[in-house]
Structures are given as C-alpha cells and as structure tokens.
Structure 1
C-alpha cells in the first residue's frame, strides 16, 4: 500500500513538493511528525507556528526524510492551523515553496487553506464506510474552510494515517520523552556546574564497528573525504574499526569497474586508482550533512582532520544496501551546530584510541605491501632464466610485429562525452533539446473539461540532456560574479526575521547556450541560466566563494581553468573552430512574471516568460 498510495487530483505528494522550484504553489496532504506551538513573531504584530509533514514518498528521500517544514503566519492566532498532536493529518491548499539556508519549506499566504484531521478521529481504513456520505470525519479549521474537502481526499487522509502509523508513533514517543526530560529538569532546578572531564562516559558515543541501523550516535572520526553537494556536504569518516554493513573500498589493484562508488572517486575513466587513498575495506562511513552543520563542516574541515559528530542518525540506503549516517537540524535547537573539529592537542580518550588504531592499521598496510613486493621479486627471479633463454627470438618477433601494427594502426576515436564532468540523476533518461523546448506547445496545452484549450506559459518539470556549450553570457568571465540583488521580502519573511547576515558580497550568475548533442542532424539550442547555488555545485570544492573577479586574479584564473574543462576553446575562439566534448546535465523549466511595462507581455501566455536553468552537474 505504501508504494501504491497516490494523492487525489489537484494534490501532489510531498517529495514532488519538496523538489518544486521556489515560489511555486502546491496543494499537499501529510502526517504531522513534528510540531511547534504558536508564538508571536519578532515584529510583535503577527503570530506564527510551524510543523513538519511526512508521507511515504518523502520518507524514502535522503534530503527530506525528516519531513517538509510548514510555516504559517496570521495576524489572528485563531486562524492558525488547529494542529494538536503528532499523527494528525493536514490538508493544505495554495502553499508557496521556499528555500532558506538550504532548507526547503512551504510558507502560508493570504489564500492558503488548511484542514486538520485529528489523529484520534481518523478510523482504520476497514471502517471508512462509517464516515461516508453525510458522516464525514470531524475536522478542525476555520469554519469556511474545514468542510471544503471531498470523500476522495478524506479516504486518502485515512489511508495515509495507516501508512505512516509506525513513523508517527515513533515521533510521538520521542517528543513525549523530550517533554518528560524537560519537566524533570525544571523540577530539579538548574544543574550544578560540572568540572571538565576527559573520561569516556557518554552513552551515545559509539565506534563504527558497533553501529546498527536506525540509531543515534556520537562519532569520533578522521575525515577521509569531504564533498560539497547541493544544500549540504557528504563527509566520509573512519575510526579505523570495521562494520560489515559499510561499503567495501578495495585497493586500486583489486577494484573492479562495477564496484566503483557513485561519486568522484571512481567517476572519471582510469581515476579510481589513487583517488581513494584508504583506508581500505569496510572502515569508512558516509555521513549526509545538512544545514546548519554543513556550513561549518564545509568551512573548517579538510581531509585528515579529526572531528566529533554528534547525534548522527544511522540508516540503510535503498541502493546498496549500505549503512550511512544523517545529520539534520536539532529538533529543539535548529540552529545548534553539532560538528566539532578536534585539534591535535585534544586529550579525549576516544581520539587517543583512534590514533592508536590508525597507527596499527597503516603499519599493517606497510607490512602487507612489503610482503607483496618480496613475493613479486621472487617470482621475477624464478622466471628470469626462462625469459633470458628466449629473449633474442622475442625481440625479433616484437620488432616485426611493431612494424606491422604501426602500418595498420588507426587514429583513436573521440570520446562520446566529457569524462571530467559528472551529472546527477543518472537513472533519468536523456531528452533532446527540441523536446525540452516544445516549440509546438504540445505538452504546454491544457484542455479543460469545460471551456477552450489554452497554452500554459511553463510547466514545473526537470530533464536530463546531452549537450555542448556554444556561447555564454556575459562575455567577460570577470562578470560571472555579481553583487546580489536585494530580495523583495513579503510580510511573512519579515516576521520570520530571515535576515541572513552571512550572504556573500558577490554571487555566481551567468548563462550558457547549450546545443543538442544527442542527434547529429538536430542542432537545437537553448539558453540556460546558472544560479549561485547551482554554480557552486558545478565548480565543486575547488573554487571558493565568489568575490570581485577583477580584484582577484587567482580566483579568475581558477574559474577560467574550470570553464575550459566545460567548454574547451570556446573563450579563445569565440565559437569559431569550436573543439569541446559533449556532457550530460540537468535542465529545469520554470517561469517568471513579466513586468507590466515589458512590451512583450501582451504576447506572452498569461504574462509569463518561460525560462530554463542548469543544475546537478559538477566539473571534476
């Protein structure tokens, strides 16, 4: 039932909402898995409340398994959603998607409607017949809204509660435990001040060897790799203990192509040897780190550093299955960072034990390498006499064969695509540019049951394509980094006090003209915009945050080097005699509302302009 449960007409599942572009309006239904009671906003005029919704589709996602955050703002607190408990099912219409500090959320606005199905009033699916017809479930909400649902939507709410019952129950127990601990602390009064200790007592501390799925743990480890990803980073850590649930990393001489990981270690042809420097075996664990922890990890951690990661949630991936860890915002203190870099002078016994295990591991590796070298030398000596005996004949034969092969040798064929560029979502099939552009509006024409067909200005859809870059804007690389435009803030954003002081003085913004590379006869082209966060993902960890490129020649040179990998000699030749390899990328279609004074607005469908952006691609 989990996989076959589909939202009613007019609604989308939470994973689809989670990936919708900013400012898109969505209708959703979900189960409450987290709840914060109403409070006054910082301006003192409005009231706000927030909660998280989850369904089976979003629960299976790495980036959304903690739920989609819903934030409501109302001048009258009685008009806020009547969510009472974890496990309630909430139906929402006309929410607006947004992203702040890498976290996806849905915001209310003046037209948002909300209906709450209290968990205690939702029957089991087998008893749903009791609430058919006139006997609808008693709901909570504003009077003019709470009866605005049909039986299909009600049946979905009943099935969704059943589908997510175990998850909601786990969360409810967790919050009750938190409330109980909070009450106990209040009864006991303020805790006595403790002396610092370097003892080992920490009930949540675990070695990697002791980890199991679906537990929380504090981990001491060495950073093996740190990879920046959209909205976070991936940390690969080891404490030099082995766990059979972890991914196997073999030495380069034993690695098979099909065993390569899906990241930069084994993506480029021939790059697997040497990219993974160890430790080998099942000693390294991947941790998916999100905001606010990711900002600190990306800033302070490098390969070889030692780190304490607190409250890591373990789980088994669907693809492997392998054991991985997740670090999300803290439920009680979302702004608290739980990534702690350990300096060499740290005297924690956990770190001392880790260093001892590390020394023993690499000592054993050196011994095995030396043994292997001795065995190779003995084998070479044993075969030496046989080789010397036939050396003259082999030399003569090799010369003749070399002359023959030189005559018959053909030029090497050009690679099919750029091996130094990686694209996400490899399971999604490729689309050609003409299909994406839809010049005849076949996919953009909507024929309602009543009324005349009309052309939609855009649809929220994403593609993968095989392309090459044939032009770019602006023409000067120095203009690829620009000062950010001041954002227009609506009342809800002001009341949230979303004034992020860490906004950079410059941000990436440029456009690329992409030409179809899937069909030699079709050279359709499309302009795509590369926004700041997608540009950072494109450049990876090799390029730091943007600055004034006219004042930073080293950063400009690094940018030029990166773009050369992407577009070849495009900058030097200006498009003449272009020599570059195709690559795969993701393209997202979206729309922007045209200004009233724009002369082309009258001709544009509904006054909106169709746009495209590139994302999900990294230059290695």
Structure 2
C-alpha cells in the first residue's frame, strides 16, 4: 500500500483559494434577499459587518440592536442584510467594522416591506475579530470571541475554516473605516432624541413624530400623501376652520390632497385650526402607506423631514427612503388596545385629542346657535341645488358600480363556462368571489407587537369562509358503507339546537356495535379530497381535505344517515347521489384497492406478474409491483363544481411544549370543511 504524501505549501495555497461550500445549515445572503428562502424559516448565515447600531433598552427586559451583514454572494453590490437583535444587555454583540458574525437558527422575516432577519430564543450569535483572523489554511478559531450565551451552541472546525477563507477572499470595499463606523454607531444613540411634538417642529429639520391619520391616504402613483395630527398647534401649519363661513387662510392644498375650493373645507373631519401637517411619502413608504394605513390609525413617522412646502407658507413633512437611517419602511402603525405597553408619547397625544374634542363640541354649539337662523333662510335655494347635485353624483356612482359588478359577473360566467362546471351541484353565497385552492391552503400570518417588538406570527388557523371551483379526486372512508357512523342517544337530543360533540362515542368495530343494545343515532361523517379545477390556478398545494359532518352531509346528499350495511336501498341511493358529484371515482378507487390487494398477495406468494413469462428475481418482483401500480388508470369522468369551504381549528393532543398553543397538552390543528353545498335533483 502506497503511503500518501502530505500536500506541499503551494498545493495547500491553491486549495485555499478555491471557493468552499457553505457549511451545512447555512444559506447565502443573496438567497435571502431574493426571497428564495421563505419568510418564517430559521436559517444560518455567515457575513462581515458593514454597519451596526448601538444597543438600546426596550420596554421589556431585552435590549435591541441591529447589524448589517454581507457575504461573497453580494460583495459587489451596495446591498446588505439587516439583522434585528433582541437580547439581554450582557448577551448583546457589539462587533466592529469587518468582523465576521455567525448567526444560527435565526428567523427570516418581512418587516416594513423588506426582508430581514430577527433573533429567536434559539438563535446563537458569534463574533470573529477581524484583526485576529489568519489566512487559510489556518483556522479562524483563535479569532473567535467569548460566547455571548453561556450554554449556547459553539462553532466547529467547518465554521472556523470557512470564516478564514471568507474574510481573506471577500472584497472589503463595502466595509467603512473605523472612524466612519464609530461615528455612525455613536449617531445611532441619538435617534430616540429626535422625537418631537408637532407644535415644536421647525423648517429644515428631521424628526420622529407620533400622530393620528386624519383622512385616508391619497395615492399619487409614485408617492402618497396623508394628513397627520397630534392635536398640538403650529402657526406654520395650514389652517382649517370648523365655521363654513370662515375661509380666511384656506388657500387650498398645494399637493392636491384636498380641493382648493372653500366649500370643500366642510368635508374636513378635524381637528380644526393649525393642528395638522401634510406628509408626502415616497418609495417604499408610499407603498406601505397606500396599502396599510387608513384614517383613524395612529402612526409613528421616523426621520421625517419638515420644511416649507410648495406654497412657501406652510410647513409640510416629507418621508424619503434613507438607507443610512434604517432598513425598510419608516412608518409604524401603533396599536391602541394595549395600555401597559403603549408608548408614553402616544398616550399623551390621545389625551390631547380627548381634551380637544370637548372644546370642539362647545364651539360647534355656539356657531350653530349664532348662525342657524340666517343660514336656513339664505341657503334654502342653494341647499336645494346642492341636494340635486349630490343626488346626481350618487346616481352616477351607483351606475358606475353597477357597471363594474356586471363586468365582473360576466367575466366570472365566462370563466365558469370555460371550466364546464357541473350545474347539478349548487352552493350558497353565489355573489361572493371565487378563491383558488392554493390561496386557501396558504398559511395566514399576522403582524403584532410582543414586548414592543414587531413580529410576524403564523396563525394555526383562521375562521374564514370561501367559495371555490373544485373537483373530487378522493374520499375517506374508502367504503361508502362507512360514510355513516353511530353514537348513543343522550338526554340533550331532546333539545332542538343540539349539536353533537366531536368526542361523542362511536366505534367502527361491528362487534361493539352489535353488543350495544340502546338506541343508536346515525350521522354522516366523511371527507372529500378537493382539487383546484382551473388548470391556470394550480400550484404546489392545489388540494385539500374537506370534512363533511352530519348537518352538511344531509344538505349535500339530501339523505338522512342510517345503517348503510343493514339498509342496501339507502346505500344504493347514496351511491347514486354521489355519482352525480364524483362520476366514476368510486369505481376507480375500488379497482385501485383490488389491484393493490392482488399485488400484495402475489408478492407475498413470490409469484410473478401475470404478464411476465419468466419468474423474476426478488428484486425484480418489487420493480414489477411498482410498474403495476403505475399502470395507466382510467381517467376521472367527474366535472368540476362550485362549493363553499370553511376553515376552522380543532384541539388535538400534543407532547411538545413548544407547540402547545391551545393549553396544556393540546394544540390547534387547521381543518377545512364543506358547507352550503347541495347535489340537486
């Protein structure tokens, strides 16, 4: 045996220049930024630090900081991956520019319109000091800083080797020099001091403000405009009057958000006076405001530029994209239903609004008393004219809406005609829109605040009803005789609104059924596998199981459940009804079951397939069985139909404490059910 020679230094150098694969469990930053990694997944990343924010204390026990990382996949771009870190102060990393950070089990999120990472309690963070990282093939272990978490995961040799290669091969032009880096870190300490109430904002300054959105935002393609008030007054703001006769200083809206006509000032919902600032948002901020923000929301606007607007008379706000300030959208919608965790500035603004509305009511009563009689006489003719114009506008809008509805109905009818829907199957809520199966199956996320941190939660289920175009491709139980089950009678059956608990007794064992001597109540209980009917809408998840309970089974089949084994006529009627629903599906399913049983018996007896002239070997038998199962099956003859589906949740046992979201020993499981659907005669 020839002994292997050790590699020469030149050979080791050549090998070290080759780009190694990422260690198992890690992904490239480019894949995250390209949305190749789905939101909610936990990943590992390795990257160099190009920006950092100093840790700041939150309302809870954690502190908050952030890093911006980059790796080889984006080394020639200006982009970076924003990493949000929530940790106790002693576990907070504070790397310098160019240091290498390893993060494992960190969550991908979509926050403020951009993808980023957020730490989890299972996340491990480790920092390699840049100045101590040796050149490959030496290990970077010596540069690894002390662990931030005493009992956390520690990087191994694969991580050490990759860090050494990454640091000495990557383009470091994106890493700022130490002076610039430290300056930005120190600047981030002052961000919280930028908050200001609107009465104190001045020209050519940047502020963080909290205010209430007065009217629904106005979308102007590449920008969006909204009015915000914190119920303080500023002499440089535009003036609105609650008195329709007072048109002084109402010179119109420079950005077209409201009409310049003084009569339209009566549509302003308040607050009156100089208490509101017009804010124009651009880029990602505009998109977020147009899609998410509505009148009545309380919002925090960060890094808002205040300056005199187009008319040079009034201060306005401008929210532009600024990568140096932070990642993503700088508009936060503030919840008002959590007093314990609410921002103190928000509480103060709400208190000012309450005080303002008390004063407003007194002013409005005074104005009405002084001018009520005069207005009634002077504006009688004009009032009639206004009513006619308002009526004409309302009729025009109604006609337009009717035209849109008719167009949508015509489009839906054409689509249904193309699908060839089964008209025998009827469902309720025919005026509701059609949802595709992939969109129904897609998990629903919900953004909320936990300890002043915005997090996106995937809901275990949601109570939603849908209409969908589907076809039945399978059913359970496999035999129609088992579509009806029984339970014992109970005293609650005397109540007209009795609904049977899902835990009511039942037993498929016929011996137990025969031994029970009491009165049995038979109920429908089966499930249908529904598939998206429109080929253009099919995706990765285009099927779902829909359960059919007793009430919906009666509606669907127009039959009352009974002992189908003891009543062959009832079984025949059920088979005839379901044939209208699923065509030859039952026949095809029974043929498949018989074929599988025959294959199992043949393989157990070590017999060849009927078409094989020579007995095959043992390995060939398994291959023959696969070929038999994959043989061409008769095509389904059923037509697609429209049905109603509801999503809900049920509690099931769970042993993993991390998954017990329904109490001790239980979790919620998402279920779909068929409802409001009938096989007509």
After TM superposition, the score normalised by the length of structure 1 is: 0.35
TM-score, normalization by structure 2: 0.32
* Larger Rg over CA atoms: 2
